[in-house]
């Protein structure tokens, strides 16, 4: 059983996923295909609105929802981080390179990159920040700059695949044709996988 994990490294809700997906996958013997994508391109192509362009009431509620979720999960969060929005491509390419490299903890890498943005006031578009997170999760720092062309191609392909698969936000999980949107759908994903065992 494979879980396709469509993620955005600048998404607060990808951050709030933490490493719970990896725990669920281990529990059910599932694998995870990490698919970093361009969330802004996805919004533009699937009827979504970037946060900055939403009505004030939606902006306000988004922050309330983020804080409630973080409190429930016991995760620190800065609702208005210093380095957001930032360019998500470099960190996404690093995740893609790390998936190919396979030497470290990929779930920890995604969690670490998003935590750097949403809890540590670090700019995840910067090579030194990405390198620190790679190294902390057992990957070589050199992945920051290796395979960038291939990373760009896969990043674009992941975004295309997301549109074709009916993905419209992040995080988004697809397994066996079943779709689960948002970090708050992880319990539903867990329950679904339990029926497949």
The tens digit of pLDDT for each residue in 130-186 reads: 999 999 999 999 999 988 899 999 999 999 999 999 999 999 999 999 999 999 999
Domain count, the chain: 1
Residue 182 CA to its chain's centroid (Å): 10
Q: Record the pTM.
A: 0.96
pLDDT value of position 81:
97
* Structural domain boundaries, residue 67: 2-196
- Is the distance from CB of 172 to CB of 21 less than 8 angstroms? no
Per-residue pLDDT at 197 exceeds 90: no
pLDDT value of position 147:
81
pLDDT value of position 64:
97
CA atoms within 13 A on the CB side of 80: 3
Burial of 143 from C-beta contacts in 10 A (0-12 / 13-18 / 19+): buried
Q: What is the CATH number of the domain that holds 87?
A: 3.40.30.10
């Amino acid at each position: 059983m494979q879980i396709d994990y469509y993620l955005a490294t600048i998404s607060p809700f990808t951050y709030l996923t933490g490493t719970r997906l990896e725990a669920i996958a281990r529990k059910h013997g599932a694998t995870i295909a990490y698919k970093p994508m361009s969330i802004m391109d996805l919004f533009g192509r699937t009827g979504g609105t970037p946060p900055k362009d939403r009505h004030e009431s939606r902006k306000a509620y988004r922050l309330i929802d983020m804080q409630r979720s973080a409190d429930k999960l016991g995760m620190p969060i800065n609702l208005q981080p210093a380095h957001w929005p930032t360019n998500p491509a470099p960190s996404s390419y690093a995740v893609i390179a790390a998936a190919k490299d396979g030497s470290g903890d990929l779930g920890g890498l995604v969690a670490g990159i998003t935590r750097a943005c949403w809890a540590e006031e670090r700019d995840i578009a910067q090579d030194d920040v990405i390198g620190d997170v790679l190294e902390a999760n057992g990957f070589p720092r050199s992945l920051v700059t290796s395979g960038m062309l291939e990373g760009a191609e896969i990043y674009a392909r992941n975004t295309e695949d997301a549109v074709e698969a009916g993905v419209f936000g992040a995080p988004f999980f697809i397994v066996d044709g079943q779709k689960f949107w948002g970090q708050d759908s992880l319990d539903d994903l867990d329950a679904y996988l339990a029926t497949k065992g």
